[in-house]
Amino acid sequence: MLIDTGQSPEVTVHNIDALDLGFDDLDLIFLSHGHYDHTGGLMGILRRMSCRVPVLAHPDIFSPKLKGHPFLRFIGPPFSRAQAEYAGAIMLESTGPIRIAKNVMTTGEVERSVPFEKVESFWTIKDNLYCPDTIPDDQALIANIEGKGLVVITGCAHAGVINTIRHAQRIMGVEKLYAVIGGLHLMDADDERIASTARALLELDPSIVRPGHCTGQKALSHLQQTLGDRCRPLATGDLIKL
């Protein structure tokens, strides 16, 4: 299974080749949300496959995705649904959770209840109006590891990593958190949000925290100070055994 496809077809395909993974061994692709840096490599992967492959996603990944700062620009997938399907994707779109295997599922839309976790500076066009995008398509992959607890793998956690963890605990019916891996989207967050996130993670008490991508160096440093050795940054090519 592949979670997200990076920004560039060339880089993503190169990295899969470098890891010596067979493209036709891929059973499933899961897209965490509809931004170009998580979907941009999909067409390169599909072109290397000799068979069609299911692609799990929220239906809103193809809605207009815009960024307003420092200027208006499009940040959605660099392809259409029709182009992906023509290249070999079997698009499976759902707003709710999808069970992938025993103890493994997607979150579907994440319930937003944590006051300090808000989505800002993203825009869309709905009913012919330019309006804020709360990125409802943001999802994570979750797994229950027997004897250890819940693993939450995020793309960007635009919904908020604490919102995502609590949502995962509810739908999986597992309280114990074992690992949090992926982007936490704290790069542009203020000090208060970073500190609140670190405190909440400390209370949730995971054994493994591996932030990367959009987490930001300031947030990473604060998380490492708060969580100690259990928090280490992600690097390209890392292998994490759960």
Q: What is the pLDDT of residue 46?
A: 98
Instruction: Report the Cα 215 to chain-centroid distance in Å.
Output: 12
Pairwise CA distance, residues 189 & 185, whole Å: 8
**Does residue 69 lie within any of the structural domains?**
no
Diameter of the chain by CA atoms? Answer: 50
Cβ atoms of 47 and 16 closer than 8 Å: no
Range 60-87 average pLDDT: 95
Q: Does residue 161 sit in the same domain as residue 182?
A: yes
Burial 177-195 (b: 16+ CB within 10 A, else e): bbbbbbbbbbeebeeebbe
Q: What is the pLDDT of residue 229?
A: 96
Q: Does residue 20 sit in the same domain as residue 104?
A: no
Q: What is the pLDDT of residue 177?
A: 98
**Does residue 124 lie within any of the structural domains?**
no
Q: What is the pLDDT of residue 108?
A: 98
| pLDDT tens digit sequence for 112-151 | 999 999 999 999 999 999 999 999 999 999 999 999 999 9
Range of the domain at 24: 1-62+77-93
Percent of the chain beyond pLDDT 70?
100
Tally the domains of the chain.
2
Q: Does residue 101 sit in the same domain as residue 191?
A: yes
pLDDT band at 69 (very low <50, low <70, confident <90, very high): confident
Q: What is the pLDDT of residue 237?
A: 87
**Does residue 67 lie within any of the structural domains?**
no
**Does residue 52 lie within any of the structural domains?**
yes
Q: What is the pLDDT of residue 103?
A: 96
| pLDDT tens digit sequence for 18-48 | 999 999 999 999 999 999 999 999 999 999 9
pTM comes to: 0.96
pLDDT band at 161 (very low <50, low <70, confident <90, very high): very high
Q: Does residue 103 sit in the same domain as residue 206?
A: yes
- DSSP summary character for residue 111: P
Pairwise CA distance, residues 83 & 43, whole Å: 9
Nearest Cα residue to 91 out of 80, 107, 100? 80
Q: What is the pLDDT of residue 25?
A: 94
| pLDDT tens digit sequence for 169-222 | 999 999 999 999 999 999 999 999 999 999 999 999 999 999 999 999 999 999
Q: Does residue 178 sit in the same domain as residue 221?
A: yes
